Amino acid sequence: MQSICAFDRIIPGRGVAALLEDGTQVAVFRLHDDSLYAVSNLDPFMDANVMSRGLVGDRGGEPIVTSPLLKQAFSLKTGACLDDELVALEVFAVEVLDGEVRVGVNSEVKASA
Amino acid sequence: MSKLVVIGDGMVGRRFLEAVTQRDPSWEVTVLCEEPRPAYDRVRLSAFFDGVSAEELSLASELPNVEVKLGEPAVSIARTSKVVYSDKGEYPYDKLVFATGSYAFVPPMEGADLEGVFVYRTIDDLEAIKAHSAGKRHGVVIGGGLLGLEAANALKLLGLETQIVEFAPWLMARQLDEAGGGILKQHIEKLGIGVDCGTGGTKIEAVDGRLRMETNREDIAYDTDLIIFAAGVRPRDQLARECGIEVGERGGIITDLSCATSDPDVYAIGEVAAMEGMCYGLVAPGYSMAEVVADRLAGGEATFPGADMSTKLKLLGVDVAQFGAMDGPLSTTYLDPAHGTYAKLILSDDAQTLLGGMLVGDAEAYPLLRASVGGKVPGKLADLLGGGEIEGSLPDGAQVCSCNAVTKGDIMSAIHEDGCSDVPALKACTKAGTSCGSCVPMLKQLLKEGGVEVSNAVCEHFTQSRAELFDIVKVTGITTFSELIARHGTGAGCDLCKPTVASILASLSNGHILEGEQASLQDTNDHFLANMQRNGTYSVVPRIPGGEITPDKLIVIGEVAKEFDLYTKITGGQRIDMFGARVEDLPKIWRKLVDAGFESGHAYGKALRTVKSCVGTDWCRYGVQDSVKMAIDLELRYRGLRSPHKLKSAVSGCARECAEARGKDFGIIATEHGWNLYVGGNGGFTPRHADLLLSDVDSETLVRTIDRFLMFYISTADRLQRTSKWVEGLEGGIDYLREVIVDDKLGICGELDALMEKHVENYADEWKGVIDDPEKLERFVSFVNAPEAPDPTIEFEEVRGQKFPAGTTARSHSTPVALGTPVSLRSQGK
């Protein structure tokens, strides 16, 4: 797990991007209920690291982030793209410890990727 | 390839070309057109005097394998060798189609050829009338039928005192009975137009530079400046006559039900055709003939289905409609002289079947009644006649659109089987409502009957439309999304409702768009106050009001672009776009721009973009008003105004329209007396010329009306609905809009004015608000844990001396292109 910023640094309802030690880019979102989610920052459709700048919300109750480029929705829980079943974002572990947001590589997802 | 020659490029001829190229594009088609311009909408000809240009009336379109020879009338035909001759060439044919239409009938009368005597048929006629009417006072129209009333309307629009002279005992004698004609006369006289029925001109003389027309009545003679003959038309069958094709006793080329003439390789369609001896002077039967011949040429067996001679028109502001039979076994009438309405229904002898009827003054029931002709009477007679609420359902076979022969059954199957869910979809699918448009209210009703709920709900989280949310926010004073969704919606929101609500909050002047919770609602472009590009970098567009900029400011833009290595391009909106800015550079870029006096250009927002201008009176030889100053004033007034979609504007300094104002949401064109205001224009996917809202107004009236137009649009439009669609969707259209924002019919102008006043007072530059606020500045980083680090995956390459996102240009350059063909980066690099 790697610490990326103070929890308060993230505006409720928005995301930030973090650069992990191995060069991986992660998008971390804080929802309005203060829950946290982390997915890959790379938009798989446009091949640009922009997912952290997408809008969050829900589709039928499933928490989602929408790509800021072409607006595809992705589940924040599973990373699955809700508009194209062949595409998914990598999902990362995320936690708050002593007011700090920490992100870790989800080894299972990493292994199958 | 087989050769097809068409003589005449009018409405019917054009419809035929479309039909034939669609069914069988293998024909090599030549069209000989006498007029100097291709087909135009003759039905709407009078609109020419209401600010609609000849271009807008045009029906011309590019069709495959069709060559139109403008200004080249056919002069003779050799039928044995199958060749049509013009003065310029000869055109062999396998099949020949006459679509020559009619000419205006001028009764033999002494003086009918004098200067100042016109007919009312072509755009050239109208231009001549317009030119002659300048500085004149009085005009006479001979003919009180459809065409005559149109011509009278034209003279009224030209500002002339107008007199109608009709030989028949009442107006529109072919469509109305005496009572109906009488009510119509009442309406028209109220407009200040004189009407003399039972009167015919006998002689015209030129007297002291004016004209004098004597009549069959000793007590009546007219001194006037201009006379228009609008007393009917005659088929243009001369050419057919000369080459021995059979014509009717009263004119017109005789055809059978397949539109074939006495020569089986020659067809006649439209007003020139005498279908089994009968000429039809309306466009709808002509369209049917066009379809019949197109089908025949493709090997089909179509025959003429019969004509519906029903008409509905708004003549001089008066609704007049006639449908089905003029007379029958039973009739029932209703006359309301106080409101000036008259209705008559013709019924079968058992009073069960509707055979026809007429309506004057109020034609609301027309679509239902016309479609019911031949069927059961569609409601209680008292309601049908007196304009009451009508409930009734049409049989499937009833014809809803008579112009294009579309039945209710066709419409319902388009709704249920093809999934059409709104009027535009029905139009595209069935062609219903695409000609005269009188059945559009009927289409809406059938959509409802078909169970189509037209939902304007913003998204799954709000059942309300954007306009309803706007009202809720305005009335309740709610200032946060969380409160709004908790009280009026469900769930957590999404990329549809969040920016919509953010825009509503901004329109109602709720402070900086990145303040507090609003920051979480903004689309990425609004969140970073810049436009995200394909590789995650941003473009930067400073405001350049009216497109006017000093050399010093130009240098600043150049220096900034150089320092931050940005690709620069001149935009279509008369400003400069800088591309490839990294998110962490945005504040540094804007610090320099703000210090030099630039403000946000809101290129990223659903907000006012630019007000373009031409150079106006300051420099231009032709300019009649100061368009640059006006454009700057307007751009500064409305800068930062958030709206349902982007807003564009332009100001032209004269009628040459160099600023292309009529393609804008609101466009202003200078006149010698002030300004003309046009609204609802658009470029983009579906270009639309803006409609004239006001003419010749002073600057103060202009600005006040634009204020109200914008605020009325912002208050009532749907999400992402441009003003063009909004204006089109208003029940009552541009006239209704004028009633609301000029005449204050709804009593809301005070409120609209106050909303705009609040916007103007509260405007503050968004970028200045960011670079002076450390907390907001903190967000402009690529990585929250490495604020100084740029995103290492963003790469550029150099092309034509500037940088481009890596990869995209490589793709476009690897595609072989013919020399001189422009390569679009966007489309090549998808």
Q: How far is CA B329 from the centre of its chain?
A: 43
**Residue in chain B nearest A32 by alpha carbon:** B492
Calculate the CA dihedral of residues B426, B428, B431, B436 and round it to 10 degrees. 90
Q: How far is CA B346 from the centre of its chain?
A: 36
Which residues, in sequence order, are bridge partners of residue B649?
A: B611, B666
Element (H, E) at B185: helix B178-190
> Residue B186, Cβ neighbours under 10 Å: how many?
16
Q: Is residue B180 a contact partner of residue B345, using CB atoms and an 8 Å limit?
A: no
**CB spacing of B520 vs A64 below 8 angstroms:** no
Whether residue B492 and residue A11 make contact (CB cut-off 8 A), yes or no, is no
| B777 within a domain of the structure (yes/no) | no
Burial status of residue B812 (CB atoms within 10 A of its CB: 0-12, 13-18, 19 or more): middle
> Does B497 carry a binding-site annotation?
no
Which of A28, A43, A49 is the best residue to mutate to test the B interface, defined by the most B CB atoms within 10 Å of its own CB? A49
CA distance A110 to chain B (A): 20
Smallest Cβ–Cβ distance between A57 and the set B482, B498, B536 belongs to B498
Residues B735 and B671 in one domain: yes
- Same domain assignment for residues B517 and B547: no
CA distance B95 to chain A (A): 52
Q: Cβ–Cβ of A68/B532 closer than 8 Å? A: yes
Q: Is residue B109 part of a domain?
A: no
Q: SS3 for B438?
A: coil
Kindly report the nearest CA distance between residue B357 and chain A, in angstroms.
54
Q: Name residue B274's beta-bridge partners.
A: B254, B279
Could you tell me the CA-to-CA distances from B272 to B125, B235, B257 in Å, in that order? 20, 4, 14
Q: Does B789 touch chain A (CB under 8 A)?
A: yes
Relative to beta strand A55-59, strand B674-679 is unpaired
Q: How far is B604 from chain A (nearest CA, A)?
A: 13
Chain A residues with CB-CB distance to B495 below 8 A:
54-55, 57, 66, 71, 73
Beta bridge partners of B85: B76, B90
Rounded to the nearest 5°, which phi and psi values hold at B314? -105, 105
The residue of chain B nearest to residue A9, with distances taken between CA atoms, is: B784
Name which of B501, B512, B515, B520 to mutate to probe chain A: the one with the most chain A Cβ atoms within 10 A of its Cβ.
Answer: B520
Indicate the DSSP class of residue B718.
P
Rounded to whole angstroms, how far apart are CA atoms A69 and B543? 24
Domain annotation covers residue B648:
yes
Lookup: tokens for B437: 């448009």
B220 and B244 share a domain? no
B517 interaction partners in chain A (CB closer than 8 Å) = 12-13
Domain shared by B204 and B291, yes or no = no
Is position B785 within any domain? no
pTM above 0.80, yes or no: no
Considering the domain architecture, whether residues B532 and B598 belong to the same structural domain is answered as yes
A-B interface: how many C-beta pairs under 8 angstroms? 100
Our count of domains for chain B comes to 8
**Residue A49, token pair as written in the block:** 């690291």
- Asked if residue B654 belongs to a known ligand binding site, the reply is yes
User: What's the CA gap between B170 and B110, in Å, rounded?
Assistant: 25
Residue with token string 């800021």:
A68
- Could you tell me if B672 and B704 lie in one domain? yes
Q: Which domain holds residue A41?
A: 2-112
- Cβ pair B229, B119 in contact under 8 A: yes
Give B532's strand partners: B538
Q: Does B811 touch chain A (CB under 8 A)?
A: no
- Are B491 and A61 an interchain contact pair (Cβ–Cβ within 8 Å)? yes
Complex ipTM tops 0.85: yes
Alpha-carbon distances of B760 from B447, B508, B597, B763, B783, rounded to whole Å:
42, 11, 19, 5, 37
Kindly state whether B826 is in contact with chain A, defined as any CB-CB distance less than 8 angstroms. Answer: no
Q: Mark the ranges of chain B whose per-residue pLDDT is less than 70.
A: 387-393, 435-438, 453-455, 808-830
- Residues of chain A with Cβ-Cβ distance to B491 below 8 Å are 57-58, 61
Q: Please judge whether A55 and B778 are an interchain contact, meaning their C-beta atoms are less than 8 angstroms apart.
A: no
- Report the residue of B495, B781, B830 to disrupt the A interface, i.e. the one with the largest count of A CBs within 10 Å: B495
Give A86 to chain B, closest Cα distance, Å: 19
| CATH code for the domain of B78 | 3.50.50.60
CB contact under 8 A, B778 and A9: yes
Torsion angle, CA of B762/B765/B771/B777, rounded to 10 degrees?
70
Q: Does B403 show up as a binding residue in the annotation?
A: no
Statement to judge: residues B675 and B824 lie in one domain: no
Q: Are residues B136 and B280 in the same domain?
A: no
Instruction: Strand B221-224: give its sheet, edge to edge.
Output: B201-207, B210-215, B221-224
pLDDT at B315: 74
Residues 6+ away with beta carbon under 8 Å from B554: none
Using a CB-CB distance cutoff of 8 angstroms, which residues of chain B are in contact with residue A11? Answer: 519-520, 779
Q: Which of B345, B360, B392 is the last residue of a domain?
A: B392
The total number of structural domains that make up chain A: 1
Å from B525 to nearest chain A CA? 8
Q: What is the domain-level CATH number for residue B552? A: 3.90.480.10
For the beta carbon of residue B147, count every other beta carbon within 10 angstroms: 24
- Alpha-carbon gap: A65 to the closest alpha carbon of chain B (Å): 8
Q: Say if B499 is an interface residue toward chain A (CB within 8 Å).
A: yes
Nearest to B146 by CA among B169, B174, B113: B174
Question: Do the Cβ atoms of B524 and A4 come within 8 Å?
Answer: no
Question: Distance between CA atoms of B335 and B331, rounded to whole angstroms?
Answer: 13
B480 touches A: beta carbon within 8 Å = no
Annotated binding residue at B658?
Answer: yes
| Of B354, B376, B392, the domain-final residue | B392
CB contact under 8 A, B517 and A13: yes
Chain A residues whose CB is inside 8 A of the B779 CB are 11
Gap between the Cα atoms of B753 and B154, Å rounded: 35
> Residue B372: which CATH number?
3.30.390.30
Beta strands in B70-128 (DSSP E): 74-78, 83-86, 90-92, 95-98, 102-104, 117-119
Residue B90 and residue B45 share a domain: yes
Helix (H, G, I), strand (E, B) or coil at B775: helix
B192 assigned to some structural domain: yes
CATH number at residue A76: 2.102.10.10
B784 within domain boundaries:
no
Domain region containing B380: 310-392
Please name the residue ranges forming H helices in B98-177: 123-133, 146-157
For residue B164, the model assigns a pLDDT of 96
Is B161 in the same domain as B225?
Answer: yes
Chain B residue with CA closest to A46: the answer is B534
Residues B619 and B757 in one domain: yes
Residue B532 domain-assigned (yes or no): yes
- Hey, is the C-beta of B782 within 8 angstroms of any chain A C-beta? yes
Q: What are the tokens at B220? A: 């009546």
* Triad B669, B671, B675: Cα angle to 5°: 55
Strand arrangement, sheet containing A55-59: A55-59, A62-66, A73-75
Residues B332 and B346 in one domain: yes
What is the per-residue pLDDT across A69-112, written as a single tens digit (0 to 9) for each? Answer: 989 999 999 999 998 888 999 999 999 999 999 998 755 444 33
Closest chain A C-alpha to B594 CA, distance in angstroms? 25
Q: What is the CB neighbour count within 10 angstroms for residue B560?
A: 23
Q: Do B494 and A59 touch (CB under 8 A)?
A: yes
CA end-to-end distance (rounded Å), chain A: 19
Of B204, B231, B258, which marks where a domain is finished? B231
pLDDT in tens, A6-45: 999 999 999 999 999 888 999 999 999 999 999 999 999 9
Task: Please judge whether B785 and A56 are an interchain contact, meaning their C-beta atoms are less than 8 angstroms apart.
Answer: no
